[in-house]
Each structure stands twice: as structure tokens, then as C-alpha cells.
């Protein structure tokens, strides 16, 4: 991550502003976050409703609600995952928009994915089933880290946690990516080729981040004195 692009740099830039400007930009940021989260909650609720109305038996209704809420939150996860890499490789209006609103987008994803949690818990209760241990560890761990990321998505936590903030958010975002990629890989190679575009989207997003990291890696012998 470039220094100017890092959460620490953005947080200290805000502190350097005069108090009145700081209050204005803080309340703008809060209303952006609120707007994004409200839109995500509405979208996820509609996805759940669509899934629920597509099934016939109660357990199938909730299974489909879980399916469509996960799909909806994946559509928010992707821009969060690639924003910074995209902006480094090919900066433009859209990539700058995403980078500037990355915190609001991340919290919107957390909101939408919480609706997936509600749907999947309801599915398990209605169907009388219990997820296997691997799902509980992989998926449950992903939720724990997602909530930790959401709770620390503020300037005070960025300053307090320092480098650990970056470690937590990096681990979390790759963990979430892994669960999405694994879910779609399993479905694609398990006889459901219709999921291939979603798996390909997850792989392409990872490739973008790898390309951006390689481009900005300092090369040995190229440093200026
Ligand atoms: C303990 C935690 C979790 C459980 C028990 C769980 C359960 C479920 C269930 C019941 C479905 C519907 C299955 C179907 O379509 O037949 C589903 C779909 C899915 N879940 Fe979760 N989930 C968990 C956590 C997560 C997490 C953390 C992620 C992503 C980071 C995720 C991503 C997905 C994806 C990608 C789908 C497939 C959606 C589609 O069909 O497009 N899940 N999950």
C-alpha cells in the first residue's frame, strides 16, 4: 500500500485539518457510511426475499435466501477487494471513487453479509441441520474476523492499532476471499458449471491484487540514495 493511500496517512491528514473542517468532513463520512449500509441492508433484504419466495418448502426457502444473500454480498465484496489495486494499476474516476469510499463500502459489505448470517442460521434452525466442523471453522472464523474489521473501521482504531490494524484487515480480507473462492470452486467443479463466472471473478480479483503488488514492489538495486 502506498503511504498516501494508507489508512494511517488518511487518518493523520484528517487530524491536520482545522477543527471546523474536520467536523464537516467527519459528518459527511458518517452520512456516506450510513447511506451505503442502508442501501446494502435493503439490497440484502430484497435478495433474501427473492430467495425465500423462490422455494417451495420452508427449508428450501431459507436455503435459497442464504444463497442469494451470499451472492449479493459478493457483489459488494469484489469492489472492496480490488479498489486499491485497481486504482494503482489504472487510476480513473471509478477507481478513485471506490478508494475514497472504501471504508463505507467495507461496512456495507459487513451489513449485507450479516443478512447472510441471519438467513443461514434460520435455514439451519428450520431444516434442523448443523453445519459441519470445516464450515463452522472456516465460515464462523470469517464472521469473527469480519466483525473485528467492522468494529475497527474508524480513525481511532487505525491510530491505536498501528501496524496491527493493517495485519488484521489484510488477514480478514484474504480469509473472506478464500471462503468465497472455495464456495464457488466447489460448486463449479462439483458439477455446477453455472458458477464458473463467479469463481472466475474471484480469481480475476486476486490476480489484480497480485499484479498491483508486483508493480509496486521495490526492485533490488533500484533504490535512490
Ligand atoms: C458458519 C458459517 C456459514 C454457513 C453455515 C453458511 C451457510 C450457507 C448456506 C446454507 C448457503 C446456501 C447453500 C446453497 O446454495 O445450497 C450458503 C451459500 C453461500 N455462502 Fe455461506 N455460510 C457461512 C459463511 C459464509 C461466509 C463467511 C462466506 C463468504 C465469505 C460465505 C459464502 C457463501 C457463498 C459464496 C455461497 C453460495 C452463494 C451462491 O449460490 O451464489 N458463507 N452458505
For 94-152, what is each residue's pLDDT tens digit?
999 999 999 999 999 999 999 999 999 999 999 999 999 999 999 999 999 999 999 99
Q: What is the pLDDT of residue 24?
A: 76
* Whether residue 3 has pLDDT greater than 50: no
Nearest CA to ligand 1 atom 41: 71
CB atoms within 10 A of CB 105: 24
Q: Is 77 in the pocket of ligand 1 (CB under 6 A)?
A: no
Q: Is 42 in the pocket of ligand 1 (CB under 6 A)?
A: no
Q: Note whether 61 and 52 are within 8 A (CB).
A: yes
DSSP string, 66-133: HHHHHHHHHHHHHHHHHHHHHHHHS--HHHHHHHHTHHHHHHHHHHHHHHHHHHHHHHHHHHT----H
- Per-residue pLDDT tens digits for 24-74: 777 888 999 999 999 999 999 999 999 999 999 999 999 999 999 999 999
- Per-residue pLDDT tens digits for 72-104: 999 999 999 999 999 999 999 999 999 999 999
- Per-residue pLDDT tens digits for 160-189: 999 999 999 999 999 999 999 999 999 999
* Whether residue 223 has pLDDT greater than 50: no
3-state secondary structure of 190: coil
Question: Residues 6 or more apart from 15 whose CB is under 8 A from it?
Answer: 22, 155
Q: What is the pLDDT of residue 13?
A: 63
Please state the atom number of ligand 1 nearest to the C-alpha of residue 74. 35
Q: Is 118 in the pocket of ligand 1 (CB under 6 A)?
A: no
- Cα gap 130→44, rounded to integer Å: 23
Q: What is the pLDDT of residue 25?
A: 78
Substitution candidate for ligand 1 out of 139, 144, 185 with most atoms within 8 A of CB: 139
Amino acid at each position: 500500500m502506498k503511504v498516501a493511500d494508507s489508512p494511517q496517512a488518511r487518518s493523520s491528514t484528517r487530524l491536520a485539518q482545522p477543527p471546523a473542517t474536520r467536523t464537516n468532513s467527519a459528518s459527511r463520512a458518517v452520512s456516506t457510511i450510513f447511506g451505503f449500509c442502508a442501501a446494502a441492508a435493503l439490497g440484502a433484504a430484497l435478495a433474501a426475499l427473492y430467495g425465500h419466495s423462490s422455494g417451495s418448502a420452508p427449508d428450501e426457502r431459507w436455503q435459497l435466501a442464504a444463497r442469494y444473500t451470499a451472492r449479493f454480498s459478493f457483489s459488494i465484496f469484489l469492489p472492496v477487494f480490488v479498489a486499491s489495486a485497481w486504482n494503482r494499476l489504472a487510476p480513473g474516476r471509478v477507481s478513485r471513487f471506490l478508494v475514497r469510499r472504501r471504508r463505507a463500502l467495507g461496512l456495507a459489505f459487513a451489513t449485507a453479509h450479516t443478512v447472510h448470517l441471519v438467513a443461514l442460521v434460520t435455514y439451519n434452525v428450520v431444516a434442523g441441520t448443523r453445519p459441519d466442523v470445516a464450515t463452522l471453522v472456516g465460515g464462523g472464523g470469517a464472521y469473527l474476523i469480519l466483525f473485528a474489521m467492522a468494529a475497527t473501521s474508524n480513525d481511532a482504531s487505525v491510530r491505536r492499532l498501528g501496524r496491527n490494524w493493517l495485519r488484521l484487515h489484510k488477514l480478514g480480507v484474504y480469509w473472506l476471499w478464500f471462503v468465497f473462492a472455495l464456495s464457488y470452486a466447489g460448486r463449479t467443479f462439483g458439477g455446477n458449471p453455472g458458477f464458473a463466472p463467479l469463481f472466475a471473478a474471484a480469481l480475476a480479483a486476486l490476480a489484480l491484487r497480485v499484479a498491483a503488488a508486483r508493480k509496486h514492489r521495490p526492485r533490488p538495486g533500484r533504490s535512490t540514495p
